[in-house]
A and B are shown apart, each in its own frame.
Chain A
Amino acid sequence: MGLRKPPLYGVHADAGATFTEFGGWDMPVEYDSIKAEHAAVRESVGIFDVSHMSELEVSGPDATALMQRLTTNDVTALEPGDSQYSAIVNDEGVIIDDTVVYRLPDRDERVYLFIPNAGHDEEMYDRWTSFRDDWDLDATVEDVTEEWAMFAVQGPDALDSVTDAAPDAALGDLSKFQATFADVAGVECWVARTGYTGEDGFEVLCPWDDAETVWSALDATPCGLGSRDTLRLEMGYLLSGQDFDPETEPRTPYEAGIGFVVKLDTEFVGRDALERQHEAGVDETFVGFALLDRGVPRHGYDIADADGEVIGVVTSGTMSPTLSEPIGLGYVPVEYADDETEISVLVRGREKRAVIVTPPFIN
């Protein structure tokens, strides 16, 4: 099967983008320079096409019950226009995916839109509908991944950029994780004050067929997934399939450092396993580190203690474009997780000195 393409594939190609496979999609990874795109987001504003992200809409009388039982956070806390970061876990409490859940304005009943990672739409549709049927809940689940294009406008000037394109919407009034329908360049979009870069910013969902109109109206430096990765890594944000993966890196929210999205006073799949781990504590935990020696840490490299004994693994690493220093993320036993603990990373088999740094790596 060929790779799926975002609606603006041709626009990106004409702009000189190079592409990479991500979650079954052929997405722009870089236009000219990852470093320049990274700097644009940290210093002014950049725009990412993230139309490869999945979107599912859940409505009906039991929509809340279904969402509550399949995500770890408490969806009943959401007012219309609110959103929350959450996890989807299996019976063992292992993260299958992380997601943002939006509560849309109510129609006849509450309506939710949630955003699983790229390529997970079919799996999540099957999961939601099969549990709905097993539990005999009255909810409609729709995979709307290819109905919504999604752009992320990120950076200190992001508000100016979206306000220029949507002058009638009071987007500056939105607090973090709030969202609203807004007219952007004549197109009704779902605009949320969310993002994955650590900067102020907005994620704009628009109808697939209007993608070019909205993209063109948002004045910002086009950025690819390469800089999206370096930006999120500087913040210590998890990347699905790399920092956790039910097959290759099975981790619970507590191990992955996102225990704050687990609400044990709600009922959800995996709750009992997570309650047990919450009481017992974790053996290994997600950490950041900075390399003191020259080199670049990469996914899959071993982490060792001061005696050279392998104690963990690097799940993400890069040369931080902001700091010009090598940084990484990975899992180590909890006794090594304190700041300034000396570890080493085996870069192509050679030990490089490193120290634990609690993310974010930048202020």
Chain B
Amino acid sequence: MFEIPDDRKYLESHEWTTTEGDAVRIGISDFAQDELGDVVFVELPAEGDELAAGEEFGVVESIKAVSDLYAPISGTVTAVNEELFDAPELLNDDPYGDGWMLELEPADESEFDDLLSPEEYREQTE
């Protein structure tokens, strides 16, 4: 069984969001990292970039596959986990913790309503 924490919301494309103070943190799920296998490369936007909900914001590559990353909500990038550039395996080891990708300042709080609850995401991955 894959870990699906209850303290966050999810996208069908396997990204998660959680609130860290005023910012919203984004990463990919345990299910996604397992499907990808050994992650070897991550490409992320820069601080200050504006993202729109549903927009491709980067790429994660494992030895065997390439996957686009999609923004769960709109907002401005306020932080990037640059550790992933040197240690992309953090995405495999700790996808909900040290493997976080971005922090956003949300542009429209109502967009959270469009995301999947943990129960809904759990159903999707079963």
Contact = CB atoms under 8 A, between A and B. Distances in A.
Q: Do chains A and B stick together as partners?
A: yes
A294 B64 contact: no
Interface string A217-230: 00000000010001
A326 B43 CA distance: 14
Contacts of A33: 37-38
Contacts of B63: 34-35, 226, 230, 318-319, 321
B59 A34 contact: no
Q: For the complex, would chain A's binding face be called helix, strand, loop or mixed by DSSP majority? A: mixed
A29 B64 contact: yes
A271 interface: no
A30 B64 contact: yes
Contacts of B41: 294-296, 319, 326
Contacts of A295: 41, 43
B61 interface: yes
Contacts of B43: 294-295
B107 interface: no
Main secondary structure of the interface of B (DSSP, over half): strand
A298 B38 CA distance: 16
Contacts, number: 34
A348 interface: yes
B85 to A, nearest CB: 7
B66 interface: yes
Contacts of A326: 41
Interface in A192-236: 226, 230
Given A30-B37, A34-B38, A319-B41, A298 B66 contact: yes
B25 to A, nearest CB: 23
A319 B36 CA distance: 14
Given A318-B63, A319-B63, A294 B85 contact: yes
A230 B85 CA distance: 21
Contacts of A29: 64
B64 A348 contact: no
A296 B66 contact: yes
A30 B41 CA distance: 19
B64 A34 contact: yes
Nearest to B34: A18
**Candidate in A230, A319, A321 with the most chain B CB atoms within 10 angstroms:** A319
A82 to B, nearest CB: 35
B40 interface: yes
B64 A226 contact: yes
Most chain A Cβ neighbours within 10 Å, of B43, B64, B66, B85: B64
A301 to B, nearest CB: 11
Given A296-B41, A296-B66, 15 more contacts: A29-B64, A30-B37, A30-B64, A33-B38, A34-B37, A34-B38, A226-B37, A226-B64, A294-B41, A294-B43, A294-B85, A296-B40, A298-B66, A319-B63, A348-B59
18 contacts: A30-B37, A30-B64, A33-B37, A34-B37, A34-B38, A226-B63, A226-B64, A230-B63, A294-B41, A294-B43, A294-B85, A296-B61, A296-B66, A319-B41, A319-B63, A321-B38, A326-B41, A348-B59
Interface of B: 37-38, 40-41, 43, 59, 61, 63-64, 66, 85
